[in-house]
Structure 1
Amino acid sequence: MPNKLDETIQNKILEEAKEGKLSCGKCMKIAEELNSSLLKVGKNVEALDIKIISCQLGCF
């Protein structure tokens, strides 16, 4: 069961994702806004089966 932070991250991802896709820049923004790591955001993106597009650094 995801903890509260994971639920918060997932809700933000779902809010920002369009057509099952999310840009790398938006992932970075989500991590910054929620004071989380890129790794944690990335794991939540994967769990939601969202595709990362326009990756700037190869992080995802």
Structure 2
Amino acid sequence: MNKNVEEIKDAVLKAAVEGKLSCTNARRLAEELGVPTSEIGRVADELKIKLFGCELGCF
């Protein structure tokens, strides 16, 4: 299920805690939203949300 950018931004903001989002949660979010991990990374960058605990160099 593909989402528009505003829906992705909203989901990333809700998933982030204190401006941070774990890699595991970012990958899970991408799967749930049906978008590439790179899109979650792009949106997180745009929203100034830091990704941490990165795995496999996805972000």
Please indicate, yes or no, whether the TM-score normalized by the shorter chain is above 0.5. Answer: yes
Per-residue CA deviation, residues 17-44 of structure 1 (Å, 9 max, x unaligned), is 0010000011101110010001111100
The two structures have a TM-score, normalised by structure 1, of 0.88
**1:57, distance to aligned residue in structure 2 (A):** 1.1
In structure 1, list runs of 5 or more residues that go unmatched.
none
2: CA distance, partners of 1:41 / 1:12: 10
Number of matched residues? 57
1:50 corresponding residue in structure 2: 49
Runs of 4+ in 1 over 2 A off after TM superposition: none
Question: What one-letter code is carried by the residue in structure 2 that aligns with 1:12?
Answer: A
Gaps of 5+ in 2: none
SS state at 1:57 partner: coil
Identity of aligned residues (%): 42
